[in-house]
Structure 1
């Protein structure tokens, strides 16, 4: 069955609540600031927001329904999306369908988290029952051990080197220059420093890991007619996909669900990978960025190492990639990291970047990958946005 298109839907008002290395404020505070910023950016009354989609790792036991009381909202439609790195694309897709179906007029899509040493420890300990059962017996609690397994497998299978991953990390750090929200953006990183970084969980080293932080990302979804009426710079959705528990029979993850559905994504958009002006991927570790470059069709499986050797990933290069600096330069504000690709894609193509802009960008692809268990993440998604 061919998917219904997303005609008539607009994505607008990219919002980022400045990241902090740690915070004693609760996640509700970051989400609430994002909500207020969306209202102010759109020039609307709070009561005009009749849809709310949220995600957070540290909000629990609260979910979206509790936030309606916190913020005195009276929405007709709500969604709770506990899928981490894939949550931004999933919120976008669900909100777009709700607007198309008349279930609501304006959806606030918000992801926010807080962090301190104790909160991060609780998150790792209670992330998921399956993850705990799979990882703890081996003494490798937390994501570093799992992604080290994925990275090591990828390097052995496809002859990738640490320098290949370093090209991704160093380019993103350079892209973060001028982005006031990038916590590491003022600290240049060259290949020599990347290679000399201390080990964390071999073959992962310090600069392969995201830095936990607090913050929020958000956007609004409404009809394009309403976006024009409000005078808001906005984008349309050319295509969107999601897939869960893809390729579960692989001993260690080498592919994600994008590989299953990318043909549908490009068919929806009536374009190909070569027409994408910038790519914004989820990037908790560089191997995951490499997997998305492959599985989204920019090169064949296993060819990402050659691809990053031959292409320029900088903002002004021939393959602008994670132009905000991504999580590897900005920090990972919990579940907000899953919204960052969508928010940055929207910023770039509507001329609202926090730092430098990709010259002439009109079409962007945003993708996400979330919910690590032991040797893979379970949720994937991608969307193509075009400035209107």
Structure 2
């Protein structure tokens, strides 16, 4: 059994993206959900399902109460931070396909800059049995953990800081022409990247995603019902989750090979099988870009190039809007905002509608990935 073609994203909504929202996370969630419902031409009374992240502070019943959603027949949460993004849509699609709910809204809202900042050392996490091995050694932040991974990848395959910087440059280039992006009209050069300060070598400031305040919501319903609603639907052609052997988070140091993301390989196999397509059929890639090195490794795990060859794949303009694989036309989490990947799913929907600011012509299939270095998820969205 597969959910392929049975459900669609019929509405998208978001708050503004900022560094100081000035309001509660619950208000951000409510605003984003209301905007997504309005986009789809639906009312809160139409909703009978809600899905979010275990990290979200906004309970399903609180969101329902604030919006006037009357009854919920399905509610669910997904673990592993940004790795949950595409899986929220997968959960919603499964609920719709099995008749557990008719209209499910996926949401994520936080004050990640003005409130709880994920990038800092979390003392409460030090007691975790896995963290207890790494925190005393200084691996207490996501950047520090990814830096260890990146250093090994560089050693094995000859990648350089400049190769990582090319991801930052392309994201910021696309963000510069996106009015909703935090870095609108602020592109960078490779020299800018190379002169930015170290965060945890070999990661520089411009290798790291933003800290953002904001919220994003997505309305999922049956493909049949979506066709009768206000917007052209983005059909869910494939949805998959993946966790690899000896998985941990950010730096899976239990593994013999520290230079891959096998959990993304698991997701890739599920996506291609369900959707009946392969990497060459993807028109736009919205890849999770919380740290630039993981974008290169995703390209390899997803099958766009062989292991260790991503630096060559991206060197000739492949990621430009008119290239072989346009990357993050909205600017990604490096350029638009860091909303745990949910804003990337919204961009995929816009690309399929033909309403994106940086529209890629002839878009039939968009690949979206969720957080990397953790158990993760992915989507292939397509035209009706």
Instruction: Please indicate, yes or no, whether the TM-score normalized by the shorter chain is above 0.5.
Output: yes
Q: Is it true that 1:378 corresponds to 2:378 in the alignment?
A: no
1:360 is matched with 362
1:266 is matched with 272
* CA offset digits 1:79-129 (Å, max 9, x no partner): 122332222210111111100111111111111111345521797416745
State the alpha-carbon separation in 2 of the partners of residues 121 and 167 from structure 1. 25
State the alpha-carbon separation in 2 of the partners of residues 276 and 369 from structure 1. 19
SS in 2 for 1:337: coil
Among 29, 47, 72, the alignment partner of 2:68 is 72
Among 75, 84, 89, the alignment partner of 2:86 is 89
TM-score w.r.t. the length of structure 1 is 0.90
Which stretch shifts more, 178-187 or 159-168?
178-187
Among 339, 344, 349, the alignment partner of 1:346 is 349
CA contact (8 A) 1:31 1:111 kept: yes
SS in 2 for 1:98: helix
CA contact (8 A) 1:27 1:114 kept: yes
CA contact (8 A) 2:12 2:40 kept: no
Which stretch shifts more, 243-252 or 49-58?
243-252
State the alpha-carbon separation in 2 of the partners of residues 42 and 86 from structure 1. 26
SS in 1 for 2:362: coil
CA contact (8 A) 2:212 2:337 kept: yes
Q: How much has 1:34 moved relative to structure 2?
A: 0.6
SS in 2 for 1:310: coil
Q: 1:127 to 1:40 in 2, by over 3 A?
A: farther
State the alpha-carbon separation in 2 of the partners of residues 246 and 338 from structure 1. 24
Which stretch shifts more, 5-14 or 360-369?
5-14
CA contact (8 A) 2:85 2:371 kept: no
Q: Is it true that 1:250 corresponds to 2:247 in the alignment?
A: no
Query: How many residue pairs are counted as aligned between the two chains?
Result: 374
Q: Is it true that 1:11 corresponds to 2:16 in the alignment?
A: no
Q: How much has 1:316 moved relative to structure 2?
A: 2.5
Unaligned runs of 5+ in 1: 371-376
State the alpha-carbon separation in 1 of the partners of residues 133 and 62 from structure 2. 32
SS in 1 for 2:10: strand
State the alpha-carbon separation in 2 of the partners of residues 121 and 379 from structure 1. 17
Query: What is the root-mean-square deviation of aligned Cα atoms in Å?
Result: 2.1
2:297 is matched with 291
CA contact (8 A) 1:50 1:76 kept: yes
State the alpha-carbon separation in 2 of the partners of residues 124 and 258 from structure 1. 26
CA contact (8 A) 1:15 1:38 kept: yes
SS in 1 for 2:219: strand
Q: How much has 1:312 moved relative to structure 2?
A: 2.6
CA contact (8 A) 1:348 1:357 kept: yes
* CA offset digits 1:179-199 (Å, max 9, x no partner): 122111321201111111111
State the alpha-carbon separation in 2 of the partners of residues 241 and 220 from structure 1. 18
Q: 1:124 to 1:66 in 2, by over 3 A?
A: farther
* CA offset digits 1:282-341 (Å, max 9, x no partner): 100011111111111101111111111134312232320111110011232xxx322133
Q: 1:76 to 1:123 in 2, by over 3 A?
A: farther
Q: 1:192-203 maps to which residues of 2 (within 5 A)?
A: 192-203=191-202
Q: How much has 1:177 moved relative to structure 2?
A: 2.3
Q: How much has 1:78 moved relative to structure 2?
A: 0.6
1:374 is matched with none
Runs of 4+ in 1 over 6 A off after TM superposition: none
Q: How much has 1:67 moved relative to structure 2?
A: 3.0
2:175 is matched with 176
State the alpha-carbon separation in 1 of the partners of residues 119 and 175 from structure 2. 30
State the alpha-carbon separation in 2 of the partners of residues 123 and 192 from structure 1. 27
Unaligned runs of 5+ in 2: 248-253
SS in 1 for 2:227: helix
Q: Is it true that 1:319 corresponds to 2:319 in the alignment?
A: no
2:50 is matched with 52
2:251 is matched with none
TM-score w.r.t. the length of structure 2 is 0.91
State the alpha-carbon separation in 1 of the partners of residues 240 and 134 from structure 2. 30
CA contact (8 A) 1:126 1:132 kept: no
Q: How much has 1:17 moved relative to structure 2?
A: 1.6
* CA offset digits 1:5-38 (Å, max 9, x no partner): 4232111212222101123322111111011102
